[in-house]
Amino acid sequence: MMVHILLGLLLLLAAIQDIFTRTVYREPILGATLLFFLLNTLGLGPVNPLGSLLGLVVLGLGLELLRILGTLITRHADAFGRGDVLLGTAVSTALGPFEGGAVLFWAFLLSGFYGLFLLLRGKGAQATMPWAPFLFLAFLLRFLL
């Protein structure tokens, strides 16, 4: 439960920062990822150390490949930024590969609906999309509702 509260606070702060500054600082997210791995290793988290490591490696690599693919498709250097990859990696480290993957799936689904809304309004080309608020909403949908 402690990991869920800390993860919720991290995602809330990242969402607020992403909305107002359109960036997410990487150093606190790296520290939180190490803290989540340490808490899971000590038995204070929701998954065992192997699940935490699998979430870190598998979903972290998947998000990094998605970032590279987005850069190649859009030809924009930060189509999906490194801070977003680290935030998704923190979620998957804290919750493991299955729960973390479910939260990431819902975050991509919510951000896809928002992107579709922007395209239908005709403002899709000028808009940058913050991803941390959708990750926070997906976390809330997954664990509070």
Q: In the 8-state DSSP scheme, what is residue 125?
A: T
- Average pLDDT for residues 57-82, to the nearest whole number? 85
Buried b (16+ CB within 10 A) or exposed e, 41-62: eeeebbbeeebbbbbbeebbeb
In this prediction, residue 124 carries a pLDDT of 65
Q: Which of 27-36, 72-81, 133-142 has the lowest mean pLDDT?
A: 72-81
Q: What is the pTM assigned to this prediction?
A: 0.89
What are the residues whose beta carbons fall under 8 Å from the beta carbon of 115, sequence distance 6 or more?
124, 129
For residues 85 and 106, give the distance between their C-alpha atoms in angstroms, rounded to a whole number: 15
Summarised one tens digit per residue, pLDDT across range 86-141 is 999 999 999 999 999 999 999 999 998 988 888 888 876 666 678 899 999 999 99
User: Over 80: is that where the pLDDT of 79 sits?
Assistant: no
Q: What percent of the chain lies above the pLDDT cut of 90?
A: 60
DSSP 57-72: IIIHHHHHHHHHHHHH
In this prediction, residue 136 carries a pLDDT of 95
